[in-house]
Amino acid sequence: MDTTLNFRPHELFLIAGPCAVESESQLRQILSNENRPRLIRGGIHKMRTSSKSFQGLGDEGLNLVKNLKKEIPFDFVTEVTDARQIETLNEVTSIFQVGARNMYNYELLKELSKYGKPVILKRGFSATISEWLGAAEYLFNLGEKNIILCERGVRSFDNKLRNLLDLGSVIYLKKNTPFKVLVDPSHSMGLTAYVTDAALAAVAAGADGLMVEVHPEPACALSDGQQALNIPQFNELVEKLKKLAPLFDKELRM
């Protein structure tokens, strides 16, 4: 991918893949799907609430992706959790992702702004829109085309869903900022049964793209399997998006 986002006007872009890179077989199944997403996501380093949870494959995962890209060229999106990871991740990633926990890590954002690659900046768990945009200012050296804001839900008083998906933020950002805006229906809803409906609602709200978790066998996933679509479910979502996108003057590009 170019250092500037090469997205067509009115394009609805799709980022999909597992929460974490677990194995070569896992990625191959996603890459061989008839509806292969334009951008493949997968965590190499994972920030987990519990230190006992799977933390990602680290260097093993990095080498796995690096070798697979030599055989099957694809654009890769992965989270950077520490400035010390940037150099090595830069070898395999087309777009850096900054997770919700790191939205306030301004030193990390300043370091990323030196590399010239697009950055997806996820909204913090309790961040206001103003705080989120303030964090984005640390990336301004990249140019507005390389800054992508991702709404992934905020914390609320309710416990029925993992987070509260704030589609109002999408509407506000599209009317008041120049940035591309993504929605992550997987983290915001937290359960597979609700992901597709949330994704469709995000398109109606004006989102430029979606970031969806997909796993060949969600029940066996090492992280966040409860919110991942399996491949047939993902294909069903793609077919719905193809029909819905034109109603909002967009075209899904795979």
The pLDDT value given to residue 1? 36
Cα–Cα distance for residue pair 93/1, rounded to 1 Å: 9
The pLDDT value given to residue 48? 62
194-253: pLDDT as tens digits: 999 999 999 999 999 999 999 999 999 998 899 999 999 999 999 999 999 999 999 998
Mean pLDDT on 106-121: 96
pLDDT greater than 80 at residue 117: yes
What does the domain layout of the chain look like in residue ranges?
A: 11-253
Structure confidence at residue 4 as a pLDDT band (50, 70, 90):
very low
The pLDDT value given to residue 100? 96
> Residue 158: helix, strand or coil by DSSP?
coil
pLDDT greater than 50 at residue 2: no
133-142 burial, b at 16+ Cβ within 10 Å, e below that, comes to bebbebbeeb
pTM as predicted: 0.93
The pLDDT value given to residue 135? 98
Share of the chain above pLDDT 90, in %: 87
Please report how the helices 129-136 and 167-176 are oriented relative to each other, as an axis angle in degrees rounded to 10.
50
25-73: pLDDT as tens digits: 999 999 999 999 989 999 999 766 667 667 678 899 999 999 999 999 8
Structure confidence at residue 3 as a pLDDT band (50, 70, 90):
very low
pLDDT greater than 90 at residue 191: yes
Reported CATH class of domain 11-253: alpha beta
Structure tokens at 28: 């191959």
163-179: pLDDT as tens digits: 999 999 999 999 999 99
Mean pLDDT on 101-124: 97
